[in-house]
Chain A
Amino acid sequence: MLLKQLNKICNTLAFRLTFMYAAIFFMSTFVALFVVYLLSSSIILKLTDQELLKEHKEFSSLYKQNGLAAIINAAAIEAESEGPERMFYRIFSKSGKELGASDLSAWGDLNPNRTGLQQLGEKDNLIFLSLDIPKHPHDTRIMNAYIEPDLILQIGVSLEENAHFLGAFRKIFAISMISVLLIAAGVGWFLAKRALVGVEEVTRAAIQISGGTLDLRVPIKARGNEIEELAQTFNQMLDRIQTLLTEVREITDNIAHDLKSPVTRMRGIAELTLNSSTSDKSSKSLAANIVEDCDRLLQMINTMLDISEAEAGAAKLNLEKADIATIIQEAIELFEPSAEEKGLTVSSKIPENCYARIDIQAFQRMVVNLLDNAFKYTPSSGTITIAVKNSESKVDIVIQDTGIGISQEDLPHIFKRLYRCDKSRSQAGFGLGLSLAQAIARSHGGGITAESLPGNGSTFTITLPHLTL
Chain B
Amino acid sequence: MRILLVEDDRRIADFILKGLKEAGFAADHALNGEDGLHLASTEPYDAAIIDIMLPKLDGLSLIEELRGQQINTPIIVLSAKRSVDDRIKGLQTGSDDYLTKPFSFSELLARIQALIRRASRVSEPTDLKVADLSLNLISREVVRAGKTIDMQPLEFALLEYLMRNAGRVVSKTMIMEHVWDYNFVPQTNVVEVRISKLRDKIDKDFDLKLIHTVRGAGYVIKAAE
Contacts and interface: CB of A to CB of B under 8 A. Distances in A.
Nearest to A294: B102
Given A265-B11, A376-B187, A272 B83 contact: no
B187 A334 contact: no
B216 A292 contact: yes
A267 B190 contact: no
Nearest to B182: A364
Given A274-B216, A287-B216, A289-B216, A268 B105 contact: yes
A103 to B, nearest CB: 114
Interface string B156-185: 000000000000010000000000101111
A371 interface: yes
What's the dominant secondary structure at chain A's contact region?
helix
B106 to A, nearest CB: 7
Nearest to B17: A272
Contacts of B217: 271, 274-275, 288, 291
A260 B101 contact: yes
B139 interface: no
Contact of B186 (A267, A333, A368): A368
Contacts of A335: 186, 188, 190
A42 interface: no
A299 B171 CA distance: 14
Given A291-B217, A316-B83, A268 B190 contact: no
B190 A337 contact: yes
A297 B214 CA distance: 19
A341 interface: yes
Contacts of A375: 187-188
Contact of A271 (B83, B104, B186): B104
Given A288-B217, A334-B186, A337-B194, A309 B22 contact: no
Interface residues of B, number: 37
Nearest to A285: B215
A299 B193 contact: no
B67 interface: no
A276 B105 CA distance: 12
Given A261-B9, A288-B217, A337-B193, A371 B186 contact: yes
Contacts of B182: 334, 361, 364-365, 368
A361 B176 CA distance: 12
B12 A264 contact: yes
A272 B80 CA distance: 21
Contact of A428 (B22, B185, B187): B187
B25 interface: no
A236 B69 CA distance: 55
A365 B184 contact: yes
B19 A275 contact: yes
B193 A263 contact: no
B150 to A, nearest CB: 16
B216 A261 contact: no
A299 B185 contact: yes
Given A271-B217, A291-B217, A364-B182, A338 B190 contact: yes
Interface string A309-343: 10000001000000000000010011101100100
A261 B12 CA distance: 8
Contacts of A299: 185
Interface string A251-279: 00000010011011101111110111100
A226 interface: no
A429 interface: yes
Contacts of A276: 22
Interface in B1-35: 9, 11-12, 14-16, 18-19, 22
Interface string A416-442: 000000000000110001000000000
Interface of B: 9, 11-12, 14-16, 18-19, 22, 80, 82-83, 101-106, 154, 169, 180, 182-190, 193-194, 197, 214-217
30 contacts: A257-B80, A261-B12, A261-B102, A264-B101, A268-B12, A269-B15, A271-B15, A271-B19, A271-B104, A275-B105, A275-B169, A284-B215, A287-B216, A289-B216, A290-B216, A291-B217, A292-B215, A292-B216, A298-B102, A299-B185, A333-B154, A334-B190, A335-B186, A335-B188, A335-B190, A338-B188, A371-B186, A376-B188, A428-B187, A433-B187
